Amino acid sequence: MPRIISVGTGVPEHAISQDETMEFASQLFSNSIKDLGRLLKVFHNGEIEKRHFVKPLEWYRQKHSFSHKNDEFIDVAVNLSLEAIINCLESTRLRKKISYEEIDAIIMINTTGMATPSLDARIMNKLPFSQNTKRIPIWGLGCAGGAAGLSRAYEYCRAFPNAKVLVVAVELCSLTFQKDDLSKSNIIGTSLFADGAAAALIGGDAVDFSEIIERKIPSIIDTQSTLMKDSLDVMGWNIKDNGLYVVFSKDIPSIVKEWLKPEVEQLLLHNQLKISHINHFIAHPGGKKVLKAYEEALGFPPERTATSLEVLRKYGNMSSVTVLFVLERFLQKEIHHGDYGIIAALGPGFSSELLLVRWE
């Protein structure tokens, strides 16, 4: 089975505490939103301590055109992606650096900005990848994108067992902020979203893993993608003249509680397993309420979501990127041979991406 070899990450320089962002929102919306004090409780109830933004807070007080924000997105997204890729391929946990020429395909994930030529082409002009590297840009999967990228890399490596595939996710959620949007969704997004990038390296069966890494790493056993029909309004963007306007349904935690368990059980049944066989849960931390919904849906103790909560506290919700931050922390742990794990992320559609992994 294809294996996850390495993950590298990158964040912008501006680390902003949650108290600072709450004060920012209070000043910006105090004259426009009734009961703002009640809404601002989400800043502390979500348990986020700090996040990273591409700009200082003062920049977000000003009005910026969609085109200006998108230009900023392209410049910063490329640079953050380069940082994550270098950290992935030159990780100190590898026995040797992976050369760029060894990468057969780049799967590029993002939802918070637009670029044609796509970001992967711009990255290939900065780093010495082979000119024949396959480029697979995927846009619009939101928070599910990081896990979906891993699933598509798994499928590529099943088809080409000698391949090494790089999944790169970058999201600059702060650049989607709308200072004139008075919706509850915008307040929640302001309390939750952040910026970052991550890169994950996946290798096919024919790759000599012993030459690359000496630690146990997760093999991807199976994957499952699911779309809930007639759920287009659960989460996503409304795209308007001024840019991207966030859409959040208040029903997301209850949807997770009712919908996720049957999806996980279907994936496990296909592999003759039960939820009780799962030792590790590598979940995208969409928010504190979503993590609690995971626990209730799957019968997991809080310890199973502790790593996801740690990432949420330190980095916020970086959309598609966040699950790869969680995965990076699992790759740093000493995990028993044969342990099973689930990688899980939920996104617009409404949709889920699940991967069953086993450490070997």
- What are the DSSP calls for 189-220, one per residue? HHHHB-EEEEEEEEE-TTS-GGGT--S--EEE
- CA 78 to mean position of chain CA atoms: 16
Q: Are 322 and 193 in contact (CB under 8 A)?
A: no
88, 143, 157, 173: the active-site residue? 143
Q: Are 267 and 356 in contact (CB under 8 A)?
A: yes
38, with CB counted inside 10 A (0-12, 13-18, 19+), is: exposed
Instruction: Specify the amino acid at residue 197.
Output: A
Pairing relationship of beta strands 3-10 and 195-203 according to DSSP bridges: antiparallel
Q: Are 346 and 352 in contact (CB under 8 A)?
A: yes
HSE value, Cβ hemisphere, 13 Å, CA-based, for 287: 19
Which of 279, 241, 271, 263 has the alpha carbon at shortest distance from 353? 263
- Terminal alpha carbon distance of the chain: 10
Q: What is the 3-state secondary structure (H, E, C) of 283-337?
A: ECCCCHHHHHHHHHHHCCCHHHHHHHHHHHHHHCECHHHHHHHHHHHHHCCCCCC
173 is catalytic: no
Rounded CA separation 171/319 (Å): 7
- What are the DSSP calls for 232-280, one per residue? TTSEEEEEETTEEEEEE-TTHHHHHHHHHHHHHHHHHHHTT--GGGEEE
Pairing relationship of beta strands 278-283 and 340-347 according to DSSP bridges: parallel
Which residues carry out catalysis? 143
